[in-house]
Amino acid sequence: MSQRPSQPLEDLILESLNPRTIPGLPHPLSKFAANGVVKEGPYGDAIIEFIKDWTCEAPESAKHGTAKWFLFESEKAFFFACSEAGVDAEKLRSHLLRCQS
């Protein structure tokens, strides 16, 4: 019986926490893709984190306030991040505004 080197437990746990490592699972922002595909990377990750902070953090927290500014008030940062991630910024912001009310 041949044994292959096992992957460190910490790496396995971290992989299991990342839903994008599951084959066939769409990117969380794919519904808002500008050209059919969202680019993997730090910009898309940041947008997802801001959405998470806006929805999950306490309204009086700094994270919630920062996320709310980024998602709803920013005139440059939000649009730049969306452009770099391949996300239609207007479509995403419109959706988030509907969710807010």
What number is the average pLDDT over the span 17-31? 76
pLDDT for position 24: 72
How far is residue 55 from each of residues 6, 51, 52, 60, 64, measured CA to CA in Å?
A: 38, 6, 5, 12, 8
DSSP secondary-structure letter at 70?
I
d(CA 50, CA 72): 11
Q: Where are the domains of the chain?
A: 33-100
Q: Which two tokens stand for residue 29?
A: 């922002």
pLDDT for position 7: 77
User: pLDDT tens, 45-99?
Assistant: 999 999 999 999 999 999 999 999 999 999 999 999 999 999 999 999 999 999 9
pLDDT for position 4: 60
